[in-house]
Amino acid sequence: MIEFDKINKIYPDGTKAIKDFTLKVNEGEIVTLIGPSGCGKTTTMKMINRLIEPTSGNIYIDNKDIRAYNMHELRWNIGYVLQEIALFPHLTIEENIAIVPELKKWKRRKIWDRSKELLEMVGLDANKYRKKMPRELSGGEQQRIGVIRALAADPDIILMDEPFSALDPISREQLQTDISKIQKEIKKTIVFVTHDMDEAMALGDRVCLMKAGEVIQVDTPQELILNPKTQFVKDFIGERKSPWQTAVDVIADQSEKFVISKSDYEKDTYPREGMFIIKDESNQYVGAVVDTKSIEITPLQNDMPLYKATEAIQTSKHPLFPVVKNNRLVGVLSYQVIVDYLKSKTKLENGVIQS
């Protein structure tokens, strides 16, 4: 758990880079920091591993002030993924991965096993890649190594500084998927800086939108879209591409009009007609029924863009689709909400559709 308490950063020339920044990142949570360039998102992140020191305020990790830790040991326990990837060009892939474990004086055997495990986790053949030099790898592969290098010594916290911005769109999407998948297994506390709203929404459990060194809004992606606190938030989110690229959880209906609880289902206390999605007490997705008959339906992942979701919807005979995040039900997608959403995103100007 990371806690920022009234952090300020004032540069010698008087520029206030960060103003009264307060944020709590929970254990096992991904918080994405986003905002226009110069908003202080990277500065804020680098304060966690003390690459940058705040002018005032405190940062706590597990309720202990970070200045109370030995600085190098603190960093050994915080994985760090850089935008520039920054694999050491003179070291092999294995040696790159082994850096922090070596600093922590792990046994050779343990490092060897760990690097094998990590390489396989990101789908790279350990025997083939171990002895390669970074320049022999593609950009996407390199950043994959960058990510597992940060994970190598099994830190509790990972910092990611626009890790995918230097990659081509295909590699980027692939890595985003990988990260989501890996996070399901490893459950790290991740602070992820990005300038890509889609990425922030797709990866973040919560998104922290910053402007000029201040927090404007911290919320789940959905809340951010549905209830933007200020015009700036609206504009910033609005600066997105086609509505077809919006993630489905943003569009999904959260009214629970078509949701029933597991106990209702078991007790049969729900309408006899129509389609319903079932969830349990902890909001976990359980299944769906049509006219009281249980059916098989593949739930949509929360970060799936709309245009992909429609492909699934078109081939299905059902009108409703559950949207889940880590198997937790976050909403229901129907033709109705899709049409409403698309309509709301389409501006008419003098009777001409703007897009």
Partner 1 sequence: MSDFISVFQNRQDMLLETIWEHLQISLISLIIAILIAVPLGLVLTRYPRVAEPIIGISAVMQTIPSLAVLAFLIPIFGIGTTPAIIALTAYGLLPILRNAYTGIKEVNPALKEAAVGMGMNSMKRLTKVELPIAMPVIMAGIRTSMVLIVGTTTIAALIGAGGLGKLILLGLDRGADVNLILLGAIPAALLAILLDFILRGFERVSKKAGFKSFIAMIVIAILVVTTPLLINTSQKADIIIGGKLGAEPAIIINMYEQLIEDQTDLNVELEEGLGKTSFLFNALEQDSIDMFLEFTGTALVTYLDEDAKSNQANEVYEQARDGMMEEYDMTFLEPMEFNNTYTVSTTKKLAEQYDLKEIGDLKEIEDDITAGFTLEFNDRYDGYVGMQDVYNLDLDVKTMEPGIREKALTKGEVDIIDAYATDSYMVELDLVTLDDPENLFPPYQGAPLLKAETLEKYPEIEDVLNQLGGQITDEEMRQMNYKVDYEDKSPHDVAKSFLIEKGLLER
Could you give the maximum distance between any two Cα atoms of the chain, in Å?
A: 71
**Nearest distance in Å: CB 324, partner 1:** 35
- The answer to whether residue 164 forms part of the interface with partner 1 (CB under 8 A) is no
Alpha carbon of 33 to those of 84, 193, 199, 208, 313: distances in Å? 18, 5, 11, 5, 32
Nearest 10 degrees: CA dihedral of 119, 95, 2, 35? Answer: -80
Do 140 and 99 form a contact (C-beta atoms < 8 A)?
A: no
**Nearest distance in Å: CB 49, partner 1:** 6
Among residues 100 and 260, whose Cβ is nearest to partner 1? 100
Strands (E), 45-147: 56-61, 64-65, 78-81
Among residues 83 and 177, whose Cβ is nearest to partner 1? 83
Size of the site for partner 1 (CB under 8 A): 21
Phi, psi of 9 (to 5 degrees): -135, 115
Alpha carbon of 148 to those of 33, 63, 302: distances in Å? 21, 27, 25
- The answer to whether residue 334 forms part of the interface with partner 1 (CB under 8 A) is no
Do 33 and 46 form a contact (C-beta atoms < 8 A)?
A: no
Residues 81-120 as x/- pattern, contact with partner 1 by CB under 8 A: -xxxxx-xxx--------xx--x-----------------
Supply 169's token pair: 């769109």
- The answer to whether residue 74 forms part of the interface with partner 1 (CB under 8 A) is yes
**Nearest distance in Å: CB 76, partner 1:** 4
Among residues 159 and 182, whose Cβ is nearest to partner 1? 159
| Positions 203 through 242 that interact with partner 1 (CB under 8 A) | none
Do 32 and 194 form a contact (C-beta atoms < 8 A)?
A: yes
| Positions 14 through 73 that interact with partner 1 (CB under 8 A) | 49, 51, 71-73
Q: List residues binding partner 1 (CB under 8 A).
A: 49, 51, 71-76, 80, 82-86, 88-90, 99-100, 103, 159
